[in-house]
């Protein structure tokens, strides 16, 4: 599975507080399953929930939400563009610890296609990348530019 690690790296780059406090970020995989059609191809798909836990988080929830939505736009676009998946594809719970900190758990429904081919009598496994959105990013381009430049985009 590639996406949990990609998400962790993305959040660590995009959220300065978590970059400076990496022990306060945990990423888990829950409710995983392997889906195969049983046809001639041995290809299959992983379906799972990525759980992102930010502990003692002192920033507004928006500072974590926007990078996760930006990641979903690249790696799980159906969570934004498919109304049925958008309704419950990304959920969260928060435990308010004090006036200035919270533990927040964000759950993201993910899938990852695994293509299995036979080459020279041996299985070759490749995790297929999800289709990237087109060049028209609109307001999302600001999020991606800021993550690259390292500038903050919240007050």
Kindly report, residue by residue over 16-63, the tens digit of the pLDDT: 999 999 999 999 999 999 999 888 888 999 999 999 999 999 999 999
Confidence (pLDDT) at 68: 96
In a domain, 72, yes or no: yes
Percent of the chain with pLDDT over 90: 63
Domains identified in the chain, total number: 1
In a domain, 118, yes or no: yes
In a domain, 155, yes or no: no
In a domain, 9, yes or no: yes
In a domain, 79, yes or no: yes
Of 14 and 152, more confident: 14
Per DSSP, what are the bridge partners of residue 104?
Answer: 54, 94
Euclidean distance between CA atoms 11 and 65, whole angstroms: 10
**Which domain range does residue 126 map to?**
3-149
Euclidean distance between CA atoms 36 and 42, whole angstroms: 8
pTM for the model stands at 0.80
Confidence (pLDDT) at 149: 47
Please name the residue ranges forming H helices in the chain: 3-14, 16-20, 62-75, 78-81, 83-88, 140-149
Q: Say if CB 8 and CB 18 are below 8 A apart.
A: no
Confidence (pLDDT) at 102: 97
pLDDT, average across residues 6-12: 95
Euclidean distance between CA atoms 65 and 43, whole angstroms: 33
Provide the angle, in degrees to the nearest 10, between the axes of the packed helices 62-75 and 3-14. 140
């Amino acid at each position: 599975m590639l996406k949990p690690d990609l998400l962790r790296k993305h959040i660590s780059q995009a959220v300065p507080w978590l970059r400076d406090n990496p022990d306060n970020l945990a990423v888990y995989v829950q409710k995983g399953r392997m889906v195969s059609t049983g046809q001639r191809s041995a290809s299959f798909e992983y379906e799972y929930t990525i759980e992102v836990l930010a502990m003692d988080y002192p920033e507004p929830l928006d500072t974590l939400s926007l990078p996760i939505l930006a990641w979903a736009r690249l790696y799980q676009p159906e969570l934004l563009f498919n109304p049925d998946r958008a309704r419950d594809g990304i959920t969260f719970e928060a435990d308010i610890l004090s006036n200035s900190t919270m533990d927040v758990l964000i759950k993201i429904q993910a899938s990852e296609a695994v293509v299995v081919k036979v080459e020279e009598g041996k299985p070759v496994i490749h995790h297929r990348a999800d289709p990237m959105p087109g060049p028209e990013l609109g307001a999302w381009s600001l999020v991606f530019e800021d993550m690259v430049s390292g500038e903050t985009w919240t007050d």
